[in-house]
């Protein structure tokens, strides 16, 4: 049973915990909106669809938000205990700091376990929903999903290109080219216009495009024989304004949340990732074996050609024999040898790129899997650091504790990104990369806990002033002496 003290400590902790979690979750969501805004705004989505997409994307950030929340909440709660002299009263009553930390350590452990199950069971499913929803939005909302200067075939039956797209929702276009897809025996039509504009159509299943100052090039081939087709004159019709409607019902009515992408490793649980890692290992072993065989085969082929007709002679004699070859034949041998070596070099470069791609994918899968566990352990480490810092600095509120927590989290995040990039490039084992930030922070957390248990004056400014006092005193004496000379 929880005692009154335990309930009070837990209540004090969860007050800032829920507030900080809400604030951090909102900040991370705003960051996602900032990054993803261009992908779903102006695409005709309802507010409910946008909110649902943001929720799907936001669930993924909980794995980063929760450790930082525990760090901040523990610093603030223990800082408030110290600021209100409650820690001093507990110690005076014979209650050690370890007894105060025990209930919250249990809460942090419980949250860490919950985070693992959340990352293992819920986040993969929401990752799948978010990625498929973004993909389907890009496929089903083509009115604004054009790239300037590129041919786009998202409108069924047409190929379009716009040199310039501008306007609040990308509705204004310049340098318009629209080509109707048709086979050899159907009417051919192409439209070229100086500028145009997308306007709302009465029927949402149609895309309405108003074009200005252009030409319609059309060949009426349908139903006509070859002789007539050969004599058929080209038709060019100049227009000031042309209104075109494109039937996009086929893609508009496609389900936004239809699952079309299912093979991403981020959609898998911990055990499923084990199978993916095992499969990737086997593929990499086979790939490396094939690389060795291919390179060895090409190398032997090159050496055999260069040493052709000289199998039983050593390299210097092969050089002497080459020098005895006359004129064009010698140049031909050198040229072909150079080409073979150049091909071998190109093969090695391409295999190197494939090798780097395989290593990067393997590292991504391993790190993603291991972080399901490592981020849970980070919650416990951050609690040790936060509770110890809070009891030492004895400051609550949103001032100094927030600054210290942000600095620690930035250090943790930079280490995460750094080792991740090293692992992707093959310079570090991915298992070590996933756990290295925790290995670095754990001794710091234990040291901070020891300092808190021994009532260390780690952040006492007077202590550091006293440490440097002999040095500062020498300078202050000399100044006093000069003053009274």
Residue 85, strand partner residues: none
Most confident of 2-11, 145-154, 223-232: 2-11
Q: Which two tokens stand for residue 225?
A: 């024989």
User: What average pLDDT does the segment 323-338 reach?
Assistant: 66
pTM, 2 dp: 0.63
Q: What is the pLDDT of residue 117?
A: 92
State the Cα–Cα distance between residues 320 and 124, nearest whole angstrom: 67
pLDDT digits (tens, 9 = 90+) for 264-278: 777 888 888 888 888
As a whole number, mean pLDDT of residues 134-159 equals 68
Q: In the chain, pLDDT over 90 holds for what percent of residues?
A: 11
Please give the angle made by the CA atoms of 21, 25 and 31, to the nearest 5 degrees.
150
pLDDT on residue 309: 43
Q: What is the pLDDT of residue 451?
A: 83
Cα–Cα distance for residue pair 293/400, rounded to 1 Å = 61
In this structure, are residues 218 and 189 in contact, taking their beta carbons and an 8 Å threshold? yes
pLDDT in tens, 195-223: 998 887 777 667 788 999 998 887 776 66
The Cα–Cα gap between 148 and 204 comes to 24
For residue 436, the model assigns a pLDDT of: 92
């Amino acid at each position: 049973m929880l005692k009154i003290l335990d309930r009070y400590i837990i209540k004090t902790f969860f007050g800032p915990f829920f507030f900080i979690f809400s604030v951090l979750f909102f900040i991370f969501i705003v960051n996602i909106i900032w990054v993803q805004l261009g992908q779903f705004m102006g695409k005709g989505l309802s507010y409910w669809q946008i909110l649902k997409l943001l929720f799907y994307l936001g669930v993924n950030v909980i794995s980063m938000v929760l450790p930082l929340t525990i760090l901040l909440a523990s610093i603030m709660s223990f800082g408030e205990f110290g600021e209100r002299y409650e820690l001093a009263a507990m110690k005076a009553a014979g209650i050690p700091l370890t007894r105060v930390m025990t209930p919250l350590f249990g809460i942090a452990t419980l949250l860490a376990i919950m985070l693992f199950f959340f990352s293992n069971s819920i986040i993969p499913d929401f990752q799948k929903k978010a990625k498929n929803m973004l993909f389907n939005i890009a496929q089903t909302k083509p009115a604004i999903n054009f790239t300037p200067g590129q041919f786009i075939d998202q409108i069924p039956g047409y190929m379009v290109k716009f040199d310039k797209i501008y306007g609040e929702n990308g509705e204004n276009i310049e340098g318009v080219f629209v080509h109707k897809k048709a086979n050899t025996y159907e009417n051919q039509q192409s439209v070229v216009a100086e500028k145009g504009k997308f306007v709302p159509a009465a029927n949402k299943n149609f895309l309405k495009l108003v074009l200005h100052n252009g030409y319609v090039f059309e060949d009426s081939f349908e139903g006509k024989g070859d002789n007539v087709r050969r004599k058929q004159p080209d038709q060019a019709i100049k227009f000031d304004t042309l209104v075109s409607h494109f039937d996009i019902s086929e893609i508009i009515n496609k389900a936004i949340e239809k699952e079309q992408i299912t093979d991403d490793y981020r959609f898998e649980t911990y055990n499923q990732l084990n199978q993916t890692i095992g499969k990737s290992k086997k593929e990499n072993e086979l790939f490396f074996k094939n690389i060795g065989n291919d390179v060895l085969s090409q190398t032997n082929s090159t050496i055999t050609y260069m040493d052709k007709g000289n199998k039983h002679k050593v390299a210097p004699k092969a050089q002497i024999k080459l020098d005895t070859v006359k004129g064009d034949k010698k140049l031909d041998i050198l040229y072909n040898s150079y080409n073979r070596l150049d091909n071998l070099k190109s093969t090695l470069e391409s295999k190197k790129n494939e090798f780097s791609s395989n290593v990067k994918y393997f590292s991504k899968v391993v790190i993603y899997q291991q972080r399901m566990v490592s981020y849970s352990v980070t919650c416990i480490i951050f609690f040790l650091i936060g509770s110890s810092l809070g009891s030492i600095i004895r400051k609550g509120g949103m001032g100094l504790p927030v600054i210290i927590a942000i600095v620690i989290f930035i250090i943790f995040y930079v280490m995460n990104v750094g080792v991740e990039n090293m692992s992707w490039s093959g310079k570090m084992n991915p298992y070590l990369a996933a756990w290295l930030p925790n290995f670095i922070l754990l001794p710091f957390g234990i040291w901070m806990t020891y300092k808190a248990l021994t009532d260390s004056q780690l952040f006492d400014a007077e202590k550091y002033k006293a440490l440097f006092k002999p040095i500062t005193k020498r300078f202050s004496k000399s100044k006093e002496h000069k003053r009274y000379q």
